[in-house]
Every structure is written in C-alpha cells, then in structure tokens.
A and B are shown apart, each in its own frame.
Chain A
Amino acid sequence: GENVEQHPSTLSVQEGDSAVIKCTYSDSASNYFPWYKQELGKRPQLIIDIRSNVGEKKDQRIAVTLNKTAKHFSLHITETQPEDSAVYFCAARDSSYKLIFGSGTRLLVRP
C-alpha cells in the first residue's frame, strides 16, 4: 500500500522567512496530493492540493511542487506570519480514494 514520509517533523522560522516541507510517497499510482493545516484541537483544513497532471500550483503565499518521477512533493510558504504556526500534513491519495497522511510538521513562526 501507499506510504508517505514527511520532513521535517518540526520547523522554526523567523517571521517573513520562507518555510519548506517535503514529502515522499511510494505508490506511483497515487494521483492527488493535498496539504492540510491543523491547529490544536481543530479539524484539518485543506490549504492547497495538486494533481499528478501538473508540476506546480500556487495560491498567494503558498505553493506546492510535484515531481512524479522522484515521487516527492513539497509545500512552500513565503513571507511567513505568526498565524501560519500550526501542524501541516501532506497526504497522497491512492487508487481507492483513500488519503494516506504523512507524520506531520509542526511549524513555528517566531515574531
């Protein structure tokens, strides 16, 4: 089955700097890769996603890149703000529409 690895587990950046979180997946049949932001005690919120027919997608300060050959995808947050502090999860969707999640990255943006 699908296996998703995520790095780093924690990331601390200064406000205004960029943050990058990386994930790898194992199943070449996976074709949809969402990123979720989860604040303490809250639901995961979809922040951006990418499908296997594109290599990059951007939405304001957030971008995601996908390398199908290497089976890895990354989340890029530019001009980070304290409110970006949260846990971020990547996921890969397998052929049965199940999302397999990475282990999460705790992002701390220092004011």
Chain B
Amino acid sequence: GAVVSQHPSRVICKSGTSVKIECRSLDFQATTMFWYRQFPKQSLMLMATSNEGSKATYEQGVEKDKFLINHASLTLSTLTVTSAHPEDSSFYICSARVGGALTDTQYFGPGTRLTVL
C-alpha cells in the first residue's frame, strides 16, 4: 500500500525559532499533498494544499508567511513553522493523494508533535 513518512516525529523548540517538517511519499509519486493540524481531542483541520512545482493554497485563516510550504519534488513536501510560539504547539499531519480522478484516496503520515516552549 501507499506509505507516507514524516520527519521528525516530535520536536521541542524555543519560542521564536523555526521548525521544518518533512513529508515524503515512499513508494509512489504525489502531485498533491495536504497539511493538517490537530489539537488534542479535536478533528483534523486542513491548513493548506501543496502542489508539486507551484505555490501552496492556504485555507482561510492560515498565515502563509508563518507556515511556509514547499513541494519541490513529487515525493517531498515540507512545512516550515516560522518564528514559532507556544500557540503553534500542535500535532501536524501530512497526507498524500494517490490515484486518478475517479480512484484517488489520501494516505496520512505518522504526524509530528511540535512543542514550543
């Protein structure tokens, strides 16, 4: 089946620093990846759609200058949380779209738990 990896699995950083999270599709090429954040005991909230070779599309209310997304290849998308603050602490999960228009689905990475001190 389709495998999506994320790195790192958890990170603790000081307020004001930037953190980069990688999302990789291991056994397939993904033209589209998605980034979500999930607070404890809550649902997944879509942050942005990452398309290979083009700019990401951000959901309403998500600051594009704070959450930088780069989809430089068909197997890698990165999310950089810039100038992180404690309120950015969350579980960040990526997913990759697999298949064609009538058969596609999404598989999720294992998530990255970010703690900002």
Set of chain B residues within 8 Å of A98, measured between Cβ atoms: 34, 46, 49
Q: Give the interface segment out of A14-22, A39-47, A63-71.
A: A39-47
With the chains together, A96 CA to B106 CA distance in Å? 13
In the complex, are the beta carbons of A46 and B107 less than 8 A apart?
A: yes
Q: A44, A46, A100 — which one has the most chain B CB atoms within 10 A of its CB?
A: A44
- In the complex, A101 has a CB within 8 A of chain B: yes
Per-residue CB contact flags for chain B residues 104-117 toward chain A (1 = under 8 Å, else 0) read 11111111010000
Q: A43-B93, A89-B44, A104-B43 are in contact. Are A99 and B107 (CB under 8 A)?
A: no
Interface size band for A: 20 to 34
Q: Using CB atoms, name the residue of chain A closest to B107.
A: A46
Per-residue CB contact flags for chain A residues 81-106 toward chain B (1 = under 8 Å, else 0) read 00000000100000011111111100
- In the complex, B32 has a CB within 8 A of chain A: yes
Sample of 9 more A-B contacts, CB < 8 Å, known A36-B108, A89-B44, A98-B49:
A32-B105, A42-B111, A43-B111, A46-B105, A46-B106, A99-B34, A99-B95, A100-B46, A103-B43
Interface positions of A (Cβ within 8 A of B) = 32, 34, 36, 41-46, 49, 51, 89, 96-104
